[in-house]
Amino acid sequence: MVMHRILIIEDDSTIRETLEYNLRAAGFDVATAADGRDGLEKALAGSPHVILLDLLLPRMGGLAVCEELRRRESDSRIIMITALGTDADKVKGLTVGADDYVTKPFNLEELTARIRAQLRRASAETKPQVFAFGDVRIDALRHELTVGGKAVKVRPKEWQLLVALAAGPGVLFSREQLADLVWGTDFVGSSRTIDVHIRRLREKVETLSAYNFIDTVHGLGYRFELAPKVEP
């Protein structure tokens, strides 16, 4: 099992040490930095999977650190942690390349969940970008879906849901996991939302295909599993 590397860039020693202790206990390999310049150097040298980045840092601010990491094409997932919680501050962070934003004070369980969500998304993004199953072809890079050679249009969330399922054929996804992968940790819908999107995908894609490909496991969730249609 891969031990994921987490880099904490935080000048408040109490927060930094508390995060380090709890994330180590959760099974992560943790490194820390107390200022932006040191944090940038450690991020570039160690290629952490996730960076927890404070916004207000000595020597080099968090926005500048984030911007420089993206300029150097770092693929670390960056979660900004700051006491500045206005919409404008969040937009700034996301604009320069942050993947998520947590406002102090934060809940450790929520933060850990956000870290794991970013790791799952990073894993999904490294998987193949073109999937072909029977007469269904999904090109995630070109954002193209065809059934029997015919282009099919689906809504953005339906598309993301389809790609998430196709990236793990045979893997059973709970509704909660699909909501996390497609909508993120800010999902405020219900399991019914997932069911509605699955129904729409079946109406738009399975009706055109010689196959059924979204399998419902009652009470548990959904999986991508190709099965020829049985004639009545």
pLDDT in the model for residue 176? 84
pLDDT in the model for residue 169? 81
Taking the chain, what is the end-to-end CA distance rounded to the nearest angstrom?
Answer: 46
pLDDT in the model for residue 85? 62
pLDDT in the model for residue 181? 77
Separation of alpha carbons 119 and 113, rounded Å: 10
For residue 199, what are its two tokens?
Answer: 């129904």
Separation of alpha carbons 118 and 138, rounded Å: 23
pLDDT in the model for residue 21? 97
pLDDT digits (tens, 9 = 90+) for 36-80: 999 999 999 998 999 999 999 999 999 999 999 999 988 899 999
Q: Which is nearest to 157 in space by CA: 172, 178, 142, 126?
A: 178
pLDDT in the model for residue 35? 98
Domains and CATH numbers, the chain: 5-125 (3.40.50.2300), 130-228 (1.10.10.10)
pLDDT in the model for residue 182? 79
Kindly give the parts of the chain with pLDDT less than 70: 1-2, 85-87, 89, 124-128, 185-189, 230-232
Q: Using an 8 Å Cβ cutoff, are 37 and 16 in contact? A: no
Q: Using an 8 Å Cβ cutoff, are 135 and 211 in contact? A: yes
pLDDT in the model for residue 94? 78
Q: Using an 8 Å Cβ cutoff, are 157 and 181 in contact? A: no
